[in-house]
Amino acid sequence: MFTGLMVGVSGIRGVVGEGMTPEVAMLWSGGFGTWVKGGKVVIGRDPRPSGEMINFAVKAGLCAAGCDVDDVGVVPTPEAALAVERRNANGGIIITASHNPQQWNALKFVRPDGRMLTLQDFKELEYIVTEGPLRSVGWDKLGTVYDWDGADYMYLSSVTGMGILNLERIKSKRFKVAIDCVNGAGSKIYPELLEAFGCDVYPIHSDGSGIFPHPPEPKPENLGDLCELVVREHCNIGFAVDPDGDRLVTVDEKGVPVGEELTLALAIQAILEYKQGPVVINSLTSQVIEDVAQKFGVECHRTRVGEANVAAGMKEFNAVAGGEGNGGIIYPELHLVRDGGVGMAILLNYLSSSKKQVSELKSAIPEYKMLKVSYPLKSSDPEDIIRYLSRCYPYDQSSLIDGLRISYEDGWIQTRPSNTEPIMRVFSEFKTEERASEMMKDLLENINKSVGDDRFQLE
C-alpha cells in the first residue's frame, strides 16, 4: 500500500519524496491522533533538512484529529520521549530517521508512558491508517499548536538529578571530553550536559545543521576525526552519538574506539556496581553482557530485537539496566528509552569513582568476535528455513524467540529474517575469530541445505 515506505514496530521511514512524503506523514499522524483519541501530543525532530517540511505535515494531521500539539523543536529522541511523559501527553511523534542516510526521514511513535509503541500498539495504529476511519473534528474543535521551550531544562535537570550520580565528585574531576554529534539533534544539548558535569568540552561535528559530515552510524570506522581529537587534546574520553542521540559509543583516552557492544557493557557494569538486579538485552546483543551480569550474580534476559521489545522486557522483569548492542543504553530510573545522554552521565560517574582510565576499564571486560552476513532469500520462505534449522541443533540449546538462536558455552549463533529486506541476517559470536568463522560456516551450510542450493559461501 505504501510504496517505498518501511513500516514496522520502530515506526515508518523512507526516502524523502519517494516513500516518505508530506501526504504519508499527514496520514500516519492523523492515524496516530485517532489512536490516542485526541488530547495532547508532543512532537520533536532531528535537524536534517527535510524535518521542517515533515513537521508541518505532522502538525496538520494531528490538529485535524483534534489533538493539541506541544512542539519541542529540534531535540534528541530521548528528550522528546521524556517530554511526552512529563507533559502528561497522550503520546508523541518524533521526526527522525536516526542513523539512516541524509535522504531518509521517518516517524517514531511514543506511548503516553514515554516508551516507544509495542508491536501490538503499532498493529492497532497500522490498522487505523490502512482501514480507517480517521478521527476528524469540526472547525471549532481543531487542535492548536504550542511551541514548548522547556524541554532542554527538563532533560538536563532530570539527567543530572539521577540517584546513581555523585554530581560533585564528577565535577571535581574536571574531565576533558570530546564529543561528535554528527551535526544532529544532540549538537546543543549534549555539550551543555557535559558542561553541567563540570567537563571541559571539545565538540566536533556539532553545529546542528543536520548535514552529516560522515556516515551517521556511530561505528568505529566513522569516528576517525573524534579519535584524533581525543589524542590531540589529551581527553579522558570521547563520546559519539547518532543523529537522533539515542545511541552512544565511546572512545578511550588513547583515541581507540570502544565500540557499541563494549560501551553498553561498561554502562551496565557501572549500573550493577550501584544496584544489583535483572538485566534485559535483545537476542543479538553480545555475550559480554551475560558475562557482566554473571559477575554480579544477576539474571540476564533476552528479548526480540527492537527497543520497544527490550523496554517491555525490562518492565516485565523489573530490570535495573538494559539495552541493545548498537550502543542503546536504557536506564529505567529515568525512563525506558535508549538514551545517549544518560549513557554519558553513567559512564562519567563510573570514571569518577575509579582510579582507572577508560582503556583499563575496557580491557577488564571479556571481548568476543562477532561475524555478520546477509543471506539472500530469493523465493525461499524464512519460516521453512527456521523449521529446518531447528532440527539441526540441540533443542536444549536453542531459542525461537527471534528466528533461531543456539547458545554454546563460548558463544552463540543466530539467524533471523530481516524486517526490511528479503534476506536472513546471520550472526556468529565467539571468543576467537576462528571459532566464530567455523560456526558461521556450519550455520550457512545448514541454511544452504534447507533451501536446496549453495547460494552463499563464506569466504
Model confidence pLDDT, tens digit, residues 166-195? 999 999 999 999 999 999 999 999 999 999
**What percent of the chain is predicted at pLDDT more than 70?**
99
Of 10, 50, 98, 450, the catalytic one is: 98
**C-alpha separations of 76 from 26, 96, 184, 204, 324 in Å:** 22, 9, 8, 17, 18
Place of cell 564528577: 170
Longest dimension (CA), the chain: 68
Q: Residue range 60-73: average pLDDT? A: 98
pLDDT at 192: 98
Backbone angles phi, psi at 212, to 5 degrees: -80, 125
Confidence of residue 61 (pLDDT cuts 50, 70, 90): very high
Dist. CA 76–CA 96, nearest whole Å: 9
Q: Residue range 383-389: average pLDDT? A: 94
Tell me how crowded residue 383 is: count the other CB atoms within 10 A of its CB: 10
Dist. CA 119–CA 259, nearest whole Å: 29
Q: What's the predicted TM-score (pTM) here?
A: 0.93
Sorted by where each starts, the structural domains of the chain and their CATH numbers stand as 5-153 (3.40.120.10), 176-363 (3.40.120.10), 369-451 (3.30.310.50)
Tell me how crowded residue 367 is: count the other CB atoms within 10 A of its CB: 13
pLDDT at 420: 63
Q: pLDDT of 326-383, one tens digit each?
A: 899 999 999 999 999 999 999 999 999 998 999 999 999 988 999 999 999 888 999 9
Q: Residue range 67-84: average pLDDT? A: 98
pLDDT at 414: 96
| Cis ω for the linkage preceding 133 (within 30 of 0) | yes
Rounded (10°) angle between helices 260-274 and 340-353: 60
Tell me how crowded residue 42 is: count the other CB atoms within 10 A of its CB: 27
Q: Residue range 127-144: average pLDDT? A: 95
pLDDT at 4: 84
Backbone angles phi, psi at 192, to 5 degrees: -65, -40
Give the three cell numbers for residue 150: 522547556
> H or E segment at 44?
strand 39-45
Is residue 154 over pLDDT 70? yes
pLDDT at 1: 65
Q: Residue range 4-13: average pLDDT? A: 88
Backbone angles phi, psi at 372, to 5 degrees: -135, 135
Confidence of residue 387 (pLDDT cuts 50, 70, 90): very high
- Is 14 strand, coil or helix? strand
Catalytic residue list contains 136: no
Tell me how far apart the terminal alpha carbons of the chain are, to the nearest angstrom. 39
CB within 8 A of 415, min separation 6: which ones? 375, 385, 386, 389, 403, 404, 424, 425, 426, 427, 443, 447
